[in-house]
Homo-oligomer: A and B are copies of this chain.
């Protein structure tokens, strides 16, 4: 593995486990078995490492969103599918997601990315629910409010899943929960 990727992977692991502040450059260098100076050959600053991690996550997310959008265009989309796909996305990006969730109170760029997540998910849910209502599949609920609710549920479950792994995993049941609430 290239050094840059080694640093990135080590940093991901470390930040997701002990948080950004306690993942010091000194510890990072030790864990990756490199010298501290080497970090700065590949990244401008400690924050820059985080930025790279977040950029990767943003790209992954944009793929996910694009995938959902395509399904939506082909009329193959439903809010429960969005939820299921999103849970898969989180599964595939666990470490990065934890990092974003634990740093958006610390770092503007992290907060910005989180806002992108929220906004995109909400918008796509809105579109999807609108379609569902028009088709007569979903109850005639307030579109905006209910997409916000589902989005909030999604993020609540994600966080619970990532930060409280001992907690019962109820993600599939949660989809049913929402179906009962929205399907006619």
Contact = CB atoms under 8 A, between A and B. Distances in A.
Interface string A142-163: 1011101100110111011001
A164 to B, nearest CB: 7
Contacts of A170: 145, 148-149, 152
A139 interface: yes
A174 interface: yes
Contacts of A160: 152, 155
Interface stretch (A3-11, A51-59, A176-184): A176-184
Contact of A180 (B104, B164, B180): B180
A106 interface: yes
Interface string A92-123: 00000000001011100000000100100000
Nearest to A181: B181
Interface SS of chain A: helix
A169 to B, nearest CB: 9
- Contact count band on A: 20 to 34
A155 to B, nearest CB: 6
Interface centre among A144, A152, A155, A177 (most CB of B within 10 A): A152
A164 B118 contact: yes
Contacts of A174: 149, 152
25 contacts: A19-B105, A19-B106, A21-B21, A21-B106, A104-B163, A105-B163, A115-B164, A118-B164, A118-B167, A142-B173, A145-B173, A146-B173, A146-B177, A148-B167, A149-B170, A149-B174, A149-B177, A152-B170, A155-B156, A155-B159, A155-B160, A159-B159, A180-B180, A180-B182, A181-B181
Q: Which 7 A-B pairs have the closest CB atoms?
A: A156-B156, A181-B181, A180-B181, A145-B173, A152-B156, A148-B170, A145-B170
